[in-house]
Amino acid sequence: MTEPAEYMKPVLHSIETTIVSLYEEFPRMVDADVLWCCEKLHDYYKKTAQGKELEDPESPIQRKQDLMDELLNTLEEREAEGMDSELINNPDCRQGEAMYSSHAMLYTAAIKRIRDSVRFWKKEKGKTVYLNFIKNYV
């Protein structure tokens, strides 16, 4: 995988720190759990960026639901504290040709990057290759 843009690294670090924290709380968590959450959150933020009102994603599996809730909390806190405000409508921060016009659009891109990373590492042998990789990284 290519190195993320510098402006995206703090967002990605927050997401991965949250994932590692939940992995420590739920040692039975596997890469597939993270991938499922990333897919649901990607869809959630993508639709939110399009102006749609949605319920928070849910799972009947407790570790997935807790991960989902914590990731949502992490990103909501970042937005509430204005941590990513300088990235919105900034011509130096782009997704392809388009600037990030909202926090939801920025978070969609960040979650997509995490999702792609999980998919990349999941191809290796073992069910927790991604989780163990970021545990050593974060």
Structure tokens at 44: 């959630």
| Structural domain includes residue 88 | yes
Q: Is residue 78 within 8 Å of residue 15, measured between CB atoms?
A: no
Between the two ends of the chain, the Cα-to-Cα distance in Å is 17
Q: Is residue 16 within 8 Å of residue 137, measured between CB atoms?
A: yes
Which positions ≥6 away from 121 have C-beta within 8 Å? Answer: 31, 129, 130, 133
Amino acid making up residue 31: D
Owning domain of residue 80: 6-137
Per-residue pLDDT of the chain (138 residues; tens, 9 = 90+): 788 999 999 999 999 999 999 999 999 999 999 999 999 999 999 999 999 988 888 889 999 999 999 999 999 999 999 999 999 999 999 888 889 999 999 999 999 999 999 999 888 778 999 999 999 888
Half-sphere exposure of 108 (CA within 13 A, CB side): 18
Q: Is residue 18 within 8 Å of residue 70, measured between CB atoms?
A: yes
Indicate the number of domains in the chain. Answer: 1
Predicted TM-score (pTM) of the model is 0.92
| Structural domain includes residue 1 | no
